[in-house]
Structure 1
Amino acid sequence: MKDWYLLYCKRSEQERAVINLERQGVGCYYPQVTVKKVSRGKRIESIEPLFPSYVFVQFDPETVSYTSVRSTRGVADFIRCGAMPQKVREELIYNLMMNEDSEKHQRLLSILPQPGDTLKLEQGKFQGLEAIYQEPDGEKRSFMLINLLGKPVKVSIENTDLLKK
């Protein structure tokens, strides 16, 4: 019986891992999102993994061994519960798949504020200050405009420091 598992991949090698796993008959899924960024002064949309360095895989351990999956190029290891790889509920995978839009890319970043939203910073060195959300800055940070000494200043802040107002 095929079960879903979660793999941790080497940095930026998700695609390599997926290609090599699919060659072995292992089903792979890694949700992606379309992110708007500024690159070289131009606003672009790029597709990034929703969970960087993680890939969901589906296989039957009686057909494909855990060792061959774990030893695949690009794969670091399984996410484990004790000594055994942790199984992932099918409902989670199917819920992620159902949230994909018509372009086959998820827009699950609704937890992040939208550009122009006013926020109050909850933690970090700017705690208590109000900020205007500008755009995401990588995996865990965001660009914000804060008012310092009467002038708006653009800073990069951890997403965990945000509190939507």
Structure 2
Amino acid sequence: MKGQKQFYLLQCSPHFHQSVLLQLSRSGIAYYNPVIRTFYKRRDCSAYRGQIMPMFPGYVFVLLDFEVVHPSCFTRMKNVYGLVSFGEYPAEVPLSVINEVKEQEKIFWHCCKVSDEAAFCLIQRPYISKTLLTRRISPRGSP
């Protein structure tokens, strides 16, 4: 009988966050990567540009069952430092914390007027969503 899955916090290099997410996907490890949309002023004009970033750069919530996935599998992954631990054991993240983060992420997205389709794409395919949310859609027949 398999053990129970629990969320843990994986620490990785913030500069290679997308690469780590891709490695986790290829390894079949379920993860939750909350994202936010930030805005910054362009240098060449007075406009602002949106950018999708991880809510916690350098950290990813992973859903693990240690009877199926051994914690040492992360040592073989590039740009991954390992699971956040207190003492010698990885620290479990309570489901209440995950639910609170999801709630905050949902509140933030509704403030930014992001469509449900775009938010769904962010959760399912973070590498596609960046272009989806920043691309300008023009009416048919116009350049």
**For this structure pair, what is the TM-score category when the shorter chain's length is used for normalisation?**
0.5 to 0.7
Aligned pairs (5 A) from 1:35-114: 35-41=38-44, 42-99=47-104, 100=106, 101=109, 102=116, 103-104=118-119
TM-score (norm 1): 0.58
2:14 paired with 1:3: no
The structure having more radius of gyration, on CA atoms, is 1
Q: 1:67 is aligned with what amino acid?
A: S
Could you list the runs of 5+ residues in structure 1 that have no partner in the other structure? 106-165
Number of the residue aligned with 2:28: 25
The sequence identity of aligned pairs, in percent, is: 26
Contact preservation (8 Å) 1:21, 1:69: no
Count of residue correspondences: 105
Could you list the runs of 5+ residues in structure 2 that have no partner in the other structure? 110-115, 123-143
Deviation at 1:29, TM superposition (A): 1.2
What root-mean-square deviation, in Å, do the aligned CA atoms of Structure 1 and Structure 2 show? Answer: 1.7
Q: 2:73, 2:86 → 1: CA distance?
A: 19
Deviation at 1:8, TM superposition (A): 1.0
Q: 2:40 is aligned with what amino acid?
A: K
Deviation at 1:36, TM superposition (A): 1.1
Deviation at 1:75, TM superposition (A): 1.1
Name the structure where helix makes up a greater proportion of residues. Answer: 2
TM-score (norm 2): 0.66
- CA 19–90 in structure 1, closer or farther in 2 if over 3 Å, else same: same
